[in-house]
Structure 1
Amino acid sequence: MGIGLGTTLGGLGKARPAVSASVDHSIWSIGGPGVISLGGYVGNTGYKYRYSGYTAKWNYTVIGARGAYHYNGFEKVPDLDVYGGVMLGYNIMKYSSDDSEEHFSGNYDDGLGFSCFVGGRWFFSDSFGVYGELGYGVSVLNVGVTFKF
């Protein structure tokens, strides 16, 4: 679970913090110190713009399936997990306006997208840690907490 900083999704006005959650499940160990994982992603952010008596709102939700390679061969820092991967996501954009002359609302620019990401996790215990991740989702940089089950 994380909070996002920076976004590639457009919008005017004040931004809501980007929030996201992802899950990765180790599928198989490959030769050497690494594993392949598959998982999912969901994130949301939005903007609100007020001007001359009307309000416009943009809401972005990204839902995706992702796969990653996790390198865990650092013998001197065994609590570090670095990874990189790809995601196939669906971007849902909703827009609404309460403009008195023209009232617009609906879904716009929905569609599939392909992206890459890199990140790292540091575990303080067997099941709890923090992470940072660069790549496309609802934000360019995500930071947050991570759990192992």
Structure 2
Amino acid sequence: MISLKKTLATALVALGLCVAGQTEAKAQNVFETGTNIASVGLGASLHTNAAGKQTGSMTINLAADHCLNGHIWDDNSAFTLGGQAVINMYSGGTDYFLGPRAGLHYHFIPALDTYCFVALGFRGDHSNESKASSFGFGYNTGIGLRYMVAPSWGLFVEAGYGMSVLNIGASFSF
């Protein structure tokens, strides 16, 4: 089985090759006012059970961002509002999250989007062992890096806190 470290290292090398192989810089930033980007990613997290024991888990992360303002304080900054859904699967059950997500983006170089985000919403948990479920307030926050390989798609990596610790995946602009 491929370890998470090897998967992350492969994704980072692929991202580096995409950046290095780009011969012509794009004239515009990833986000301009009105731009939409949808992302899907796989990741890892930790789940703490009722006894306090932590186990590793796999996450599936879906996010959508709509750029409300493509020039907040200069031409490289942007503010987005969208939504996020996360499913966190661990050996004893499933956690899930659904809520709105706000992001602050900055483009240091064309086609490279650095960002931070906060998502607040509803979180649920279902335990296979006790058959118990809970529902309440949840959050997910983090920082990310997205490189647009082409104008319509790119690759991203996010490190966060809340529902997922690490995500890698693809983004699609429309």
**Where on the TM-score scale, by shorter chain, does this alignment land: which range?**
0.7 to 0.9
1:48-89 deviation digits (Å, cap 9, x = unpaired): 3xxxxxxxx3111111211011112x2xx3110011121113
> In structure 1, which of residues 67, 78, 83 is the aligned counterpart of residue 115 of structure 2?
83
Q: Which has the higher strand share?
A: 1
Query: 2:173 is aligned with what amino acid?
Result: K
- Take 1:114 and 1:47, find their aligned partners in 2: how far apart are those partners? 18
Aligned residues: 130
Is the contact between residue 155 and residue 170 of structure 2 (CA under 8 Å) also seen in structure 1? Answer: yes
| CA distance in 2 between partners of 1:19 and 1:115 (Å) | 13
- Considering only CA atoms, is the larger Rg found in Structure 1 or Structure 2? 1
| Identity over aligned pairs, percent | 29
| Structure 1 residues not aligned, in runs of 5+ | 49-56, 98-103
Q: Is 2:88 the partner of 1:45?
A: yes
* Secondary structure of 1:105 counterpart: coil
Does the alignment pair 1:21 with 2:62?
yes
Q: 2: distance between equivalents of 1:14 and 1:21?
A: 22
> Could you tell me which amino acid in structure 2 is paired with residue 67 of structure 1?
A
* Aligned partner of 1:62 among 92, 97, 108: 97
Q: What is the alpha-carbon root mean square deviation over aligned residues? A: 2.1
- Give distance in 2, aligned partners of 1:143 and 1:87: 18
Q: Return the TM-score normalized by structure 2.
A: 0.67
Paired residue for 2:73? Answer: 31
Q: In terms of mean alpha carbon deviation, does 85-94 or 112-121 score higher?
A: 112-121
Q: Say which structure is richer in helix.
A: 2
Give the TM-score, by structure 1 length. 0.77
